[in-house]
Amino acid sequence: MKLNKELREIICGLTLGDLHIQTQTGGRTFRLCFEQGNMHKEYLFHLYELFRDYVSTPPKQNSKGNWYFKTLTSPSFRYYGILFYDKDTKKKKVPKNIHKFITAKSLAYWYMDDGSIKSKQSKGVFLNTQSFTYREVLLLCDVLKNKFLLDSKPRPIYERLSKTGPKDYRKKKILYYQIYISGHSYNLLRSLIFDYLITSMYYKFPNLRKEKRSKVCLKSNESAQR
């Protein structure tokens, strides 16, 4: 079966998140592998309904309590397996032309998979991108800025310091990079993707951010009201 436009957009977002694309035929055909924790069971079943035509068995729960399902092996997924995976290392990668594939709907599913809010006050948000290199994270940030006008940047995640002696601490090692989208872009991000989120994911987007009004603006308003 040929993938429709909606599924193509969703696959793009999911692959930037937790989706795993697997081949057992040397790259001729691929299948999609989905897994979510019990907390996100509703989301996993939502994905199952979207890809139901490509699945032979419903989701199951593993020994860890996570819910999972896999699609049938199909040539329909080959394009994305080749696009998002390195042929030699078999590791996930960000295609250089990712800007051509990612849409607001892709961004919504990427966020449901791997997004979180920093705090209800700042409204900055994170996208977990630990499987990608620094250059790939920079590329994704550029796409978010240029295509969606979202103020974003790489954020290093360091390993924890361990004390090795009196006043002697080893240097912090960067484990990976997240994408941080500034709270100033929160309202824009919300307007782009909120309508695509399922109900159980609404907690990731509290109320709109209230922008602080400058003293100059406040004085201007007061003068105008006199």
Domain ranges of the chain: 1-91, 94-205
pLDDT for the residue 204: 86
- Considering 103-107, 165-169, 185-189, 210-214, the range whose residues carry the highest mean pLDDT is 103-107
pLDDT for the residue 222: 45
Domains 1-91 and 94-205 are alike in CATH topology: yes
In this prediction the pTM is 0.86
Whether residue 166 has pLDDT greater than 90: no
Least-confidence region, from 26-35, 43-52, 148-157, 158-167 = 158-167
φ, ψ for residue 113, nearest 5 deg = -70, -50
Q: Domain 1-91 carries which CATH code?
A: 3.10.28.10
pLDDT for the residue 173: 81
Half-sphere exposure of 122 (CA within 13 A, CB side): 10
Give the integer Cα–Cα distance in Å for 84 and 174. 24
pLDDT for the residue 219: 46
Half-sphere exposure of 2 (CA within 13 A, CB side): 2
pLDDT for the residue 87: 87
- Summarize pLDDT for 180-220 with one digit per residue, the tens: 999 999 999 999 999 999 999 998 887 665 555 444 444 44
Q: Under 8 Å CB-to-CB from 179, ≥6 apart: which residues?
A: 126, 127, 129, 137, 140, 141, 144, 152, 153, 154, 155
Whether residue 169 has pLDDT greater than 90: no
Q: Please tell me the class of the 94-205 domain.
A: alpha beta
- Summarize pLDDT for 9-62 with one digit per residue, the tens: 999 999 999 999 999 888 889 999 999 999 999 999 999 999 999 999 999 999
pLDDT for the residue 221: 46
- CA 196 to centroid of chain Cα atoms: 14
